[in-house]
Amino acid sequence: MAITRADKITETLYVQQTYSDFTNDLTVHPISQQLVILKNADAVKQSLRNLILTNLGEKPFNPLFGSNINKSLFELFDPFFVEDVKRYVTLAVQQYEPRVNLISVDVSQDRTETAVMINVVFSLINTTQPLSISIYVKRVR
C-alpha cells in the first residue's frame, strides 16, 4: 500500500515554449559576431512568409510544401481568383504550420491588377493574442 503525503507533492512550473530560427539572410550581429536569431512570433511570421511564397515542387523531397501563389498571379483577377488564393493559403498554413491557430486570410487586389496583398491573422498555439502578417506579391512581366 502506497502512502501519499501532501508535503512531498511539488509544484511544476509552466515553461513557455520558445520558437527560434535564424534570419533568412543569415545576418551576423555586429558586436557578438553571432547569427541573429528570431524568437517566438517573429520566427513564426518568417516561417509563414516562407510557406506562402514557396511554390509547389520547390522544396526538395517534399513536392507538396507551399501554397503556389506565384502560379496563380497569371490567372484572371476575378472573385474566383481571390477565393483560390484564400484556399491555397489556408490549406498550406493548416497543413504545414502546426504552431499557428489560423483566424482569417484576407486577399485584396492592387488597382493595377498585377499584385495581391495577402493578410493572414493568426495566433500562436496556447496564446490568445492575435498576430498578423501582410505579404505583397507582385506579378513580374
Q: What is the average per-residue pLDDT within 77-97?
A: 90
Cα 46 off chain centre by: 6
Predicted confidence at residue 12, as pLDDT, reads: 61
Share of the chain above pLDDT 70, in %: 87
Contact 107, 117 (CB under 8 A): yes
Set of cell numbers at residue 40: 517566438
Q: How many CB atoms lie within 10 A of CB 54?
A: 19
Task: Provide the pLDDT for residue 47.
Answer: 94
Supply φ then ψ for residue 118, to 5 degrees: -110, 120
Instruction: State mean pLDDT over 53-78.
Output: 86
Environment class of residue 92 by beta-carbon count within 10 Å: exposed (0-12), middle (13-18) or buried (19+)?
Answer: buried
Predicted pLDDT of residue 3: 59
pTM over 0.85: no
3-state SS of 27-88 is CECCCCCCECEEECHHHHHHHHHHHHHCCCCCCCCCCCCCCCHHHHCCCCCCHHHHHHHHHH
3-class secondary-structure state, position 141 = coil
Residues 49 and 97: their CA atoms lie apart, in Å, by: 11
Q: What is the pLDDT of residue 14?
A: 58
**Domain at 40-138, CATH class:** alpha beta
